[in-house]
Amino acid sequence: MSITIAQLTDTHLCCHPDAELRGCRPWHRLQAVIQRVAQVKPDYLLLTGDLADKGLPSAYQQFTGCWCCEYAHPVHVVHSCQWVTKYGIHCPPYRHHGSQQSY
């Protein structure tokens, strides 16, 4: 039996999907990566590191929303796998409230 694990790390997402960070748009890049991950159909998806660039709660809300709706189409293909988050040191909202969540 084989298990496929995909890992996305240090996405540094901004509060707005069209915001630029160091010459790129992290949300658009994430969308492209999710489409590639969806083709692999992993059993587990690990989301690690600094998910939000500045650790702002609104960026995490956007992040959670992209997995719970069709923003990052075709995220529904990735929904079929279990995903785990392990937050980085720049994620202040989560450093003090547990550093891991599973979905």
Reply yes or no on whether the pLDDT at 9 is more than 70.
Answer: yes
Reply yes or no on whether the pLDDT at 21 is more than 60.
Answer: yes
Query: Could you tell me the residue ranges of all domains in the chain?
Result: 5-102
Q: What is d(CA 87, CA 70) in angstroms, rounded to the nearest whole number?
A: 23
Contact 41, 2 (CB under 8 A): no
Q: What is the pLDDT of residues 54-94, one digit of tens each?
A: 767 777 776 666 655 443 433 444 555 565 566 666 555 54
Reply yes or no on whether the pLDDT at 34 is more than 60.
Answer: yes
Packed helices 26-40 and 57-68: angle between N→C axes, nearest 10 degrees = 30
* CA distances in angstroms from 23 to 15, 18, 29, listed in the order given: 16, 12, 12
Provide the 8-state DSSP code for 10.
Answer: -
Radius of gyration of the chain (CA): 13
pTM of the model: 0.60
Q: In the predicted model, what is the mean pLDDT of residues 44-55?
A: 77
